[in-house]
Structure formats: C-alpha cells, structure tokens
Amino acid sequence: MRIRRTSIALAGASALALSLTACGTADVGGGGGGGEGGGEGGGDTITIGVKYDQPGLGLLEGDAPVGFDVDVATYIAGELGYSPDQIEWTEAASANRETFLQQGTVDMVVATYSITDERKNVVDFAGPYYVAQQDIIVASDSTDINGPEDLEGKVLCSASGSRSANNIVDSEEDGGLGIGAELREAGNYSECMQLLADGTVDAVTTDNTILAGFAAQNPESYRMVNNPFGEERYGVGLPKGSTEMCEQVNEAITKMWEEGKTLEYLDTAFGETGFAYAEEQPELDGCA
C-alpha cells in the first residue's frame, strides 16, 4: 500500500481549525442515487452517526460536525440521493454505535468504525473506505515509550467501546500482543487526552488518524510515537440485513476513490499535520 506523506510539519491548533472548517464543504456525489425515499426535493432525511470529539475526523464546530468522516458520509449520502440539507447528524460515540444501529436511531454510522467479526454479528458493514493503523501518543517530554513493547507496566488509556487498548494487553491467543499495561478507561478519546495531559496515564493508543488530529491541536504537548502496528479497517456501519444498502454504499466508496475525492478529503483534514496517509483504495468486503 502506497503512503502519501505530507512535507509540512505538525501545525498548531489554528491551522487545524482552518482545515477543519474546509472539511465541512465536501462536494456531494451524483445526487441522484438510489436511496429509498431520498433524492433532492424528496422531503425525507437520512440520519448519520459521526464522532463529535475527534479533530480531523469528526469534530463538532458550531452546529455541525466537520472532518474526514463527515466528508465521506456527505459524499455517500449524495450518491444515495440525499443533499447536504437532508442529512441529520447525530453524535455516535464508540460505546453506542451498535446500539444506535440496532435501535434505528441512525441509518448509518461513519465514525472511525473498525470492521471486526464480533461487530459483524450485530451490524452490517460497507467498505472499508479507509485503512488506518494503530499507534501511540505520549507527552512530549516522554522518551521511554517508542513502541507497544515499551508499555509494559505503564498506564494506558482505553476509550469505552474501543478495542484499541485490548489489541495491546490481550493475550496472543486472543489476538493481542500480551503486553502487561494497566488500563484506565475513559468515556472517549478526548477524555483520554486530558488524562494524558495531567499525567494520570502514560500513553493513549488508537488509530493513527485520530492521534494525528489530537497531536496537531497541541504539538508542543504531545508526541506521536509514529511506530504503527496492526490495521483498523474503517467501515460504514449499517443495520443488520442491509444488503442492498451495503452494495449502494460500496459503489459510492469506489466512485469516491476513482474521482480523487477521498485523497482530497484526507489532504484537507491532515495536510497540515505531517501525517502519512494511504493513497490507494482498500479492497472492499462483500455484502452478505
């Protein structure tokens, strides 16, 4: 997989704020897609769950979220026949994504939602639309953590509903690295970053896309280890049994990559951060 690395060093919060504002202006796709009841002037809406606390991906600014996932969701909705003003945004924290889909609170979730076999038991996924890697972020003055193996005996923050920390502490038999870090759970990654800032935890681990956004907000306080491991395959979460919708979303994802929109959205979100992002479309899963 080829990687595009921007040459600009980590920018401050003001630069990120400018890029995030631009993220909210994603071009809609074809606008004449096959979403049931959708389409311009149809009067219906589509409800999409995104993150509200992740810079560069899904961050609430004013009355609307902005970021890479928001741009992706807006494009997909356009291909399904929904204009931007027909989208209703809902905050979908890691802990409630499955519940929202099962209860019909949202029609889809585009929220750094990694595709796993466990989650496939209760929801459907289209995609992946992007493959991230896991990494670690520490305080800028921390010098003894440079990879997951250095987390032995350290306090590691885990966000509720996320499996990232388990990838480190679970045994190898259970798919983890078997590293003896102490887990401290927080409600979300914003809370994890606060715990890191006040010294309650030694490190935070999750997708490198998420960490890049936080690092760019305050580069003097945080240091990304930049020693990625594993893969996080971002999918579009759908209610169980949404085979037809899954196929339509996969078509939209392919078109988004072919038109160069995905790279445009990635550059808008992360171009000021020095984050190395993948520039090739990942292979799509089939729709069961």
How far apart CA 115 and CA 249 sit, in angstroms, is: 15
How far apart CA 278 and CA 115 sit, in angstroms, is: 17
How far apart CA 188 and CA 156 sit, in angstroms, is: 13
How far apart CA 228 and CA 250 sit, in angstroms, is: 27
| pLDDT band per the 50, 70, 90 thresholds, residue 162 | confident
40-54 mean pLDDT: 81
Tell me which of 89-93, 169-173, 249-253, 261-265 is least confident.
Answer: 169-173
* All residues at 6 or more sequence positions from 224 whose CB lies less than 8 Å from its CB, including other chains: 135, 136, 137, 208, 211, 212, 215
Query: Identity (one letter) of the amino acid at 237?
Result: G
* All residues at 6 or more sequence positions from 145 whose CB lies less than 8 Å from its CB, including other chains: 136, 138, 151, 154, 202, 203, 225
What's the topology of domain 133-230? Answer: D-Maltodextrin-Binding Protein; domain 2 (3.40.190)
Q: Span 3-132+232-278: which CATH code?
A: 3.40.190.10
Residue 6 or 111, more confident: 111
How many helical (H) and strand (E) elements, i.e. helices and strands, does the chain have?
Answer: 9, 14
pTM across the whole model: 0.77
80-97 mean pLDDT: 95
Q: Say whether pLDDT at 84 is over 90.
A: yes
User: Where, residue-wise, is CATH 3.40.190.10 in the chain?
Assistant: 3-132+232-278, 133-230
How far apart CA 213 and CA 24 sit, in angstroms, is: 16
Q: Say whether pLDDT at 5 is over 50.
A: no
**Helical H segments across the chain, by residue range:** 13-23, 68-79, 97-103, 117-120, 166-169, 189-197, 208-217, 243-258, 261-270
